[in-house]
Structure 1
Amino acid sequence: MPHNHEPIARLGGAVKRYGQLTALDGADLQLQRGELLALLGPNGAGKTTAIGLLLGLIRADAGTVELFGQDPQRIEARRRIGVMLQNAELPPTLRVGELLRLTASYYPAPRTLAETAELAGVSDLLKRSYAKLSGGQQRRVQFALALCGRPELLFLDEPTVGMDIEARQKLWTAIRQLLAEGCSVLLTTHYLEEAEALADRVCVMTHGRMIHEGTVEELRARVALKRIRCLSTLSIDTVRGWPEVNEVRRENERLHITAAEAEVVVRRLLGADLQLRELEVQRAGLAEAFTELTRDADEASDTNQREAA
């Protein structure tokens, strides 16, 4: 998705240390208006710290942090955002409708209660107290609170944790509606299929640095591996012995092969099994791309540490 405007949220060479630990090490990030940027990375990569800086909850030790071109702690900037963090402490005795009305009152032009409840899928919960909701229901309410102020920028930190598949799909639909209305979204998630389904761009973090940024397709293109599936009578040991094959397994009669040189493997399969059927070749998914990128970064970091020692 092309954008020609100034970013609405930006980290420029941001550094954040906690004693001897460097949580962010010169991180660069830009979020454009109307897009969904998925921030991916293993635990401890620095995702939560990056969000904390952009929300103005913590201060950077060095570098630049901007929200709508302003200091993130300015009230003018904060009134334009909605936030759904991993952990939320809300008054347990208040009913959901009361929580929504209270939160909406902090914003200059909030959504109506009915609109918010419908969009977030909590219309059936409005009269129930927050403490009596299940974990998944509480996450839906937290999502409703994040969008009730009609934000221009929505921060969603692991939003679907604790939700069942149906609730997750409904939340995805609501996010797409918000994007269609022009809202921007910064999403962190451990569900890579969530980023694959929603993101305009993905940014992969590890060790406090951004190691890749681009579309899902661009991230996949960074990985040479391809997946081959077919119905074959060949044994796993035979295929595993081919030098081009990285991994092979069998499910029922179907072989599942991962290989960097897929074309060579396909020619071998066709030559070795004249009864080969239902041959499929796919590029690596986001999960494989993410795993390979972070593994390469970890190996590079280990090498640098050994050389420094």
Structure 2
Amino acid sequence: MSCNILAIESSCDETSAAVISDGKILNNIVATQSVHEKYGGVVPELASRAHQQHLVPVVSEALKSSGVDKSALSAVAFTRGPGLMGALLVGVSFAKSFAHALDLPLIEVNHMEAHVLAHFIEKPSPSFPFICLTVSGGHTQLVRVSSHLEMEILGETLDDAVGEAFDKIAKILGLPYPGGPQLDKLAGNGDPDAFTFPLSDMKGLDFSFSGIKTAVLYFLKKNLKEDPDFIARNLEDICASVQQTLIAMLMNKLIRACNESEIREVAIAGGVSANSGLRKALKESAGEQGWKVYLPKLEYCTDNAAMVAMAAHYKYQAGQFCGLDISPLARMKIGNHGKK
């Protein structure tokens, strides 16, 4: 009998459901929340309400398009955290109710672990152990991955995530939401050496991205006093210079982590792994450092239920289930399981 799992993702502003059968992703249904665009960022309360509106249609479509009837499901998986508490609560509550009604086991999934395991949706996939640079709007982590269910954080941001730095700087420049992809697009036509911004270098393998936001802000204020059209005339060069600085911060730590661990299998994951500059830098470093590099498909970079389903597949095989008394965790680190 096939093992069919319904997976639900609701950690931020993407409502998603997917069905996996014997380790094969059958679909990946995602409903994007456009309501946040006019606010220039995700509004938690509006995200929760949108999840309530989207979840039933998304799950219905996932089951229908997969050809798997709910009576043939083996388990229900959901993102427990990290994420926005209200958004997580919608997904967790739905998963618990759905599983309880059908007397199915529940599987909790760590959102960040799911990003890493997105690399196993399709081949080629990394060999263990590998280093994964996980970068998103809320997290920046260097993770040593020893198996599908064994991960260790080697370093992480001590303040802002790199995705937040991209988005906040883009907002300062007047770019539309979501700003990160817009900045990346403009950077492609700019001179990355036009302007110089400071590289923060924390001890060990940790990151800090709060300083560059401040540096860019003061840089722009100074130049705008002298030339009100400074941003308009130099927008592409500013974007390219900012992007080069942020990527350099990431790559410096990634190279250090690989050298210290003597691991040459390298992957990236998370929303910022869609950034064209980062992907290019990783490919270039592959030749220089002797790495074997793995880049996820763009559809598996941003938040999606397919990656949750993939993680759930391995947890199902290991018999790692949870009870109906499980609650969401807004702050949940890799390895932080079984806590109420």
Same fold (TM over 0.5): no
Bigger-Rg structure (1/2): 1
TM-score range for the pair, normalised by the shorter chain length: under 0.3
Higher helix share: 2
